[in-house]
Amino acid sequence: MRYSQLFGKTSKSIPSDAESINAKLLTQAGFINKEMSGIYSFLPLGYRVLSKIQQIVREEINLLGGQEILMPVLSSIENWKKTGRDKDWVDVLYRLDNMALNPTHEEVVTPLVQKYTFSYRDLPVAVYQIQEKFRNEPRAKSGLLRGREFNMKDLYSFHKDEKDLNEFYQDAIKAYQSIFNRLGLGKITYLTYASGGSFSKFSHEFQTECVTGEDTIFVCDRCHTAINREIIQEQVMCPDCNSDKLRETKAIEVGNIFKLGTKFTDAFGFSYVDEKGAVKPIIMSCFGLGPSRVMGTLVEVFHDEDGIIWPQSIAPFQIHLVGLAPEAFGVYEQLKKHKLDVLFDDRDDVSAGVKFATADLIGIPIRIVVSKRSIDAGGVEIKNRNSKETSIIPINELDSAILNYGKAR
């Protein structure tokens, strides 16, 4: 893509209403546009990152055995009356006539799965969707971290007994860890014990350590586990190794998983017939992860004074080509021939300094510079935004260099 044709350019001015680092940088760099409080449009750069996050989530949840579906935004308020959450969630639930704009989908997925599930042979079932959620949030002031309309992956699983649920729950924890590893957040994201419900002592959150985080967690560095402040009074030691060497830190909740037991299946009278013909309760779990919130978190974590520094796996383009000499056009064609997804700064009306500032702000980690200097030195300059390392590659060796670059990652 030629930068001159890209919709959504970088801006020098800091948005006056951006209350958070992610809102500020994503707006300045042309990734998102604030439409209303807590409601954003994703411009082409932003949509590319969001899609890549969603795709990583999709691949890992598919591997876990989740089946992708799509449920509607609108649901009947009758479903919410059955579970009592028309009242319990009254503050955040957007209502429209006799309908709700779903803030979560237990009230939709439970009767849906019930329709197709009769006996033990139909269990377990795990279905998920990647879709927009709506919550009337008074505190929608953190960019993509807390929205009134936001993107969510929500997985729901239905089991014949607790043993089956527990096995799936452990597999889901591993799937989440794979997701955060692939997003470059693995090392700083902790499986965090949080308050449970009537069915289990704890629920689990995935908390990403970040100085700007709203949450406080206590990390056991030995187990790479944490405890949410809300339960530290009752749980003063690491639940995994009993260590009391816990480190207090700030974090952003990037996922949460919850054993729901029969709370929702009971409300809808959803049971099954076991091998012996007996009617048994169905127990349920839910697994949330917000791709748009993860996108905001990545920016809170990975940036410097010049802009964003995306992990390569979800950068909006694979390469940022800075064109400062006519030879750049040939290099662009060469990169495209290798099916590489390149953002080519082809502008002829801005200085080299502006182009570098643009690249710094957008934050694609691999940058190729074609300038008179690089041509004189025998080729193109390849830079890595993370390591600041630079090397000169002769143009006629660019093909093999790209292949090696690909292998090294």
Residues forming contacts to a copy of itself in the complex (CB under 8 A) are 4, 6-9, 30, 33, 35-36, 39-44, 46-47, 50, 67-76, 94, 96, 99, 101, 108, 112-113, 115-116, 121, 125, 127, 132, 134, 148-149, 349
Give whichever of 8 and 103 is closer to a copy of itself, judged by the CB atom. 8
Shortest Å distance, C-beta 155 to a copy of itself:
12
Cis peptide before 124 (omega within 30 of 0): yes
227: tokens are 């405890």
CA end-to-end span of the chain, whole Å? Answer: 23
CA angle 56, 166, 53 (to 5 degrees): 10
What is the rounded CA–CA span in Å between residue 267 and residue 172?
A: 25
Give whichever of 116 and 387 is closer to a copy of itself, judged by the CB atom. 116
Phi, then psi, of 12 in degrees rounded to 5: -75, -30
CA angle 163, 166, 171 (to 5 degrees): 130
Give whichever of 116 and 388 is closer to a copy of itself, judged by the CB atom. 116
Shortest Å distance, C-beta 82 to a copy of itself:
14
Give whichever of 218 and 344 is closer to a copy of itself, judged by the CB atom. 344
Shortest Å distance, C-beta 42 to a copy of itself:
4
Shortest Å distance, C-beta 237 to a copy of itself:
41
Shortest Å distance, C-beta 355 to a copy of itself:
16
Q: How far lies 128's CA from each of 65, 69, 326, in Å? A: 10, 6, 49
* Residue position matching structure tokens 């953002």: 343
344: tokens are 């080519």
160: tokens are 């014949």
Give whichever of 121 and 245 is closer to a copy of itself, judged by the CB atom. 121
Give whichever of 46 and 379 is closer to a copy of itself, judged by the CB atom. 46
Shortest Å distance, C-beta 156 to a copy of itself:
11
43: three-class secondary structure by DSSP: coil
Q: What is the DSSP letter of 406?
A: H
Give whichever of 44 and 326 is closer to a copy of itself, judged by the CB atom. 44
Which residues contact residue 258 at a Cβ distance below 8 angstroms, ignoring those fewer than 6 apart? 196, 197, 203, 204, 285, 286, 287
Give whichever of 16 and 396 is closer to a copy of itself, judged by the CB atom. 16
CA angle 232, 238, 241 (to 5 degrees): 165
Give whichever of 17 and 68 is closer to a copy of itself, judged by the CB atom. 68
Shortest Å distance, C-beta 199 to a copy of itself:
23
CA 233 to chain centroid = 30
Shortest Å distance, C-beta 43 to a copy of itself:
6
| DSSP states of 107-175 | HHHHHHHHHH--BGGG--EEEEEEEEEE---TT--SGGGS-SEEEEEEEEEEESSHHHHHHHHHHHHHH
Alpha helices in 248-362 (DSSP H): 263-267, 291-301, 327-337, 352-362
Shortest Å distance, C-beta 195 to a copy of itself:
31
215: tokens are 């949450």
Q: Which of 5, 85, 87 is nearest to 45 (CA)?
A: 5
Shortest Å distance, C-beta 71 to a copy of itself:
5
What is the rounded CA–CA span in Å between residue 27 and residue 23?
A: 6
Shortest Å distance, C-beta 115 to a copy of itself:
7
Give whichever of 67 and 170 is closer to a copy of itself, judged by the CB atom. 67
* Residue position matching structure tokens 């308020």: 77
CA angle 375, 355, 49 (to 5 degrees): 110
Give whichever of 125 and 298 is closer to a copy of itself, judged by the CB atom. 125
